[in-house]
Structure 1
Amino acid sequence: MGARHAIHNGRATRFWVDWWHEKGPLKDQFPGLFVIATEPLATVATLFRGNQCRLTFRRELCLGERVELANIARLVEVVRLSETQDRISWSLEPNGKFSVRSLYKSLCQGILHKHYGIVWEIKVPLKAWKLLARRGDRQAVELVIGRIRALHASIRDSV
């Protein structure tokens, strides 16, 4: 929704999850392949070797999935990695910089993105979020959210 990635070296952009293609995250365009991907959180740099994309899956692909993989191959054939860092910009602001105001405005206009829903459900002390945000550790944040989701699910199921 907001953060857009321009791929250069591919180290700061996750192949499936981040919005680097014009139509949105590949996990939303190809959900069937995303759920069976061996490395669903891998960066573009990890999956590209010699400017060729090397995707692996947990099982052999059926005919429909092979067609989807061919579609991905066509999308990524224009990707050429370089040595400069990936550029991340905020699409909801003309200057490309994040603002709470623009995020809040888009949420109020009903453009609720499914990834933001969990943020409002989680009961985590603000200190914990500040610590994770300060570290800039995206994987740690995802791990915490995953564990909290599991905890909430187990509590919900037991009630």
Structure 2
Amino acid sequence: MTYMWITDFIVYNGLSLTSTTLAIGDPHWNYTASGLVEIPASILLPLMMDLIGRRPSVMITHSLTGVVLTILPFIPPTHEVLYLSMWMLAKFGVAASFFALYIYAAELFPVEHRSLCVGTCCALGNIGALLVPFIAKMNPMATFLIYAVASIGSCCLTLLLPETNH
């Protein structure tokens, strides 16, 4: 669970940090849009978690983020709308996975240790936030691939956890 929190902190903060440096569009609009994309994520995620369960929702959101971030560096700069749309889809996926982790972690840990375990995951997740400025200074292709591999790794690790829906 801690790995997933670190991953989400890295990817979420990394995409937020780079939203103003995208070569496409206005930096102010990009930052605003990257925040607005979280609204549908916060609306759709609870519906998805109720329909298909907690574990599949966490897996889908992490895999969506990973797949989109794998494709993103290969989109040519001439396809500005496609690039920005895919970037926003990645931000949607990581925002949804971030929201899902709070719910899933709260249900995963036993009641008597829940607040300590979720707090520990959240605190250790900030290690990821500390790494973001260093990762962001890398080549954009390497940055997105690091985010993608970490997200797909989180999806795979979710297979080791139980479903908590019922």
TM-score (norm 1): 0.28
Identify which of structures 1 and 2 has the higher relative contact order when contacts are C-alpha pairs closer than 8 Å and 6+ apart. Answer: 2
Which has the larger share of strand? 1
TM-score (norm 2): 0.27
Which has the larger share of helix? 2
